[in-house]
């Protein structure tokens, strides 16, 4: 299995794995030799699911949905993660595909019924694999638009290397309060790291979303923020940072879909958000001058989350 993967990687990608600093954890361990750092991942495909996903922002999903590749494990460990069945680094990675050929065939199959967009979800710790997949597709003259769907906990240098690879950045900007990022995601430096990382994405893409004549997205940056219950102050600080550090002209996706995945050890996280909390956040965003906002209807049943046990999606109710 490892040999099958290594033959798809460049020398630079193999070197990067020999002393891994792909993400801000900078574990500096040799993943080629089987060592594992914070993300508990050596050199394996570790793809939990490849599936058509209609639940992304409408400009991405349009009518047909996009092809999403979900990696197992993550360089953050958010206590409220809705993908916890695959993102937890404590469990063995879910890996549905044994070879790169299987992965490529599955992506080709899903792309046939999707928009021409390929999204990588939680790709940071598996960047060499992501790049290898894209190269393998290009070799077959398949050129989907590439979405980088990440938690926002990224190295600037790593992002700089993606400038000509990623078409659409779709990062979370979760926190601007260190106490929260430490408590909920085991990443005390998240606010500062995410600020620098998303500024780099902004440098690459600017605030305009580019589309072709048929309104298919070509390139851009959409910043997601999930409002947590009782944490409006954090959310307002995040929006303040985006407005001042980037621009109120960027596109926001303000997510209201928070739903505790199970009984959490933090009492305040064990409920959904209220309409008032969400409306307050929207009003605050407008007051800062944001005008390109994907908002969610709290009463909508449209929100779907992956069901990794059955390799499909279920409603987030």
Residue 61 touches ligand SF4, criterion: CB under 6 A:
no
Q: Scanning residues 193 to 212, which ones bind ligand SF4 (CB under 6 A)?
A: none
Q: Which is nearer to ligand SF4, 61 or 89 (CB)?
A: 89
* Nearest-5° Cα angle at 132, 128 to 135: 140
Among 49, 74, 162, 194, binds ligand SF4 (CB under 6 A): 74
Give least dist CB 185 to ligand SF4, A: 6
- Gap between the Cα atoms of 145 and 165, Å rounded: 9
Give least dist CB 306 to ligand SF4, A: 11
Annotate 33-71 with DSSP letters as a single string.
Answer: TT---TT---S---EEEEEEE--S-HHHHTTT-EEEEEE
Residue 239 touches ligand SF4, criterion: CB under 6 A:
no
Taking each helix axis as running N to C, give the angle between helix 232-241 and helix 275-288, from 0 to 180 degrees, rounded to the nearest 10: 20
Beta strand residue intervals within 122-267, DSSP E? 145-150, 168-171, 210-211, 217-226, 251-255
- Gap between the Cα atoms of 138 and 251, Å rounded: 29
Residue 251 touches ligand SF4, criterion: CB under 6 A:
no
Dihedral pair phi/psi, residue 161, rounded to 5°: -70, -15
String of contacts with ligand SF4 for each residue 15-34, x by CB under 6 A: -----xxxx-xxx-x-----
Q: Which is nearer to ligand SF4, 209 or 226 (CB)?
A: 226
Tokens at 195, concatenated: 């600020």
Confirm if 43 and 17 have CB atoms less than 8 A apart: yes
Residue 77 touches ligand SF4, criterion: CB under 6 A:
yes
Residue 37 touches ligand SF4, criterion: CB under 6 A:
yes
Give least dist CB 224 to ligand SF4, A: 10
Give least dist CB 273 to ligand SF4, A: 16
The alpha carbon torsion through 82, 84, 87, 91 (nearest 10 deg) reads -170
Give least dist CB 125 to ligand SF4, A: 4
Longest dimension (CA), the chain: 54
Tokens at 143, concatenated: 């050129």
Q: What is the CA radius of gyration of the chain?
A: 19
Residue 46 touches ligand SF4, criterion: CB under 6 A:
no
Among 44, 46, 61, 83, binds ligand SF4 (CB under 6 A): 83
- Gap between the Cα atoms of 15 and 31, Å rounded: 10
Residue 49 touches ligand SF4, criterion: CB under 6 A:
no
The alpha carbon torsion through 62, 63, 64, 68 (nearest 10 deg) reads 40
Give least dist CB 288 to ligand SF4, A: 25
Q: Which is nearer to ligand SF4, 21 or 95 (CB)?
A: 21
Candidates 70-78, 206-214, 263-271, 288-296 — which segment interacts with ligand SF4 by CB under 6 A? 70-78
- Gap between the Cα atoms of 92 and 177, Å rounded: 31
Annotate 114-131 with DSSP letters as a single string.
Answer: S-SEEEEES-GGGHHHHH
Give least dist CB 124 to ligand SF4, A: 6
Half-sphere exposure of 3 (CA within 13 A, CB side): 0
Among 61, 68, 72, 87, binds ligand SF4 (CB under 6 A): 87
Give least dist CB 269 to ligand SF4, A: 13
Q: Which is nearer to ligand SF4, 76 or 242 (CB)?
A: 76
The residue ranges that bind ligand SF4 (CB under 6 A) are 20-23, 25-27, 29, 37-39, 41, 74-78, 81, 83, 87, 122, 125, 151, 185
């Amino acid at each position: 299995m490892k040999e099958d993967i290594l033959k798809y990687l460049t020398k630079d990608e193999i070197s990067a794995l020999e002393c891994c600093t792909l993400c801000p954890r900078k574990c500096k361990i040799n993943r080629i030799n089987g060592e594992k750092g914070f993300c508990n991942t050596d050199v394996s495909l570790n793809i939990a699911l490849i599936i058509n996903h209609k639940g992304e922002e409408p400009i991405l999903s349009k009518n047909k949905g996009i092809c999403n590749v979900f990696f197992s494990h993550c360089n953050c460990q958010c206590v409220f993660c809705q993908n916890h069945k695959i993102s937890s680094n404590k469990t063995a990675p879910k890996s549905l595909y044994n070879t790169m050929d299987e992965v490529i065939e599955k992506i080709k199959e899903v792309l046939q019924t999707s928009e021409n967009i390929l999204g990588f979800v939680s790709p940071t710790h598996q960047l060499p694999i992501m790049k290898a997949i894209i190269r393998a597709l290009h070799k077959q003259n398949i050129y989907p638009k590439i979405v980088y769907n990440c938690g926002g906990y990224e190295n600037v240098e790593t992002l700089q290397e993606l400038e000509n690879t990623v078409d659409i950045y779709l990062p979370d900007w979760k926190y601007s309060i260190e106490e929260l990022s430490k408590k909920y995601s085991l990443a005390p430096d998240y606010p500062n790291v995410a600020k620098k990382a998303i500024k780099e994405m902004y440098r690459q893409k600017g605030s305009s979303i580019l589309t072709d004549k048929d309104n298919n997205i070509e390139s851009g940056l959409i910043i997601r923020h999930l409002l947590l219950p009782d944490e409006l102050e954090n959310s307002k600080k995040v929006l303040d940072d985006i407005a001042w550090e980037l621009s109120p002209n960027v596109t926001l996706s303000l997510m209201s879909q928070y739903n505790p995945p199970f009984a959490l050890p933090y009492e305040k996280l064990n409920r959904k958000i209220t309409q008032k909390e969400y409306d307050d956040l929207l009003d605050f965003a407008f007051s800062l001058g944001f005008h390109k906002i994907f908002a969610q209807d709290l009463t909508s049943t449209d929100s779907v989350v992956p069901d990794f046990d059955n390799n499909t999606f279920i409603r987030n109710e």
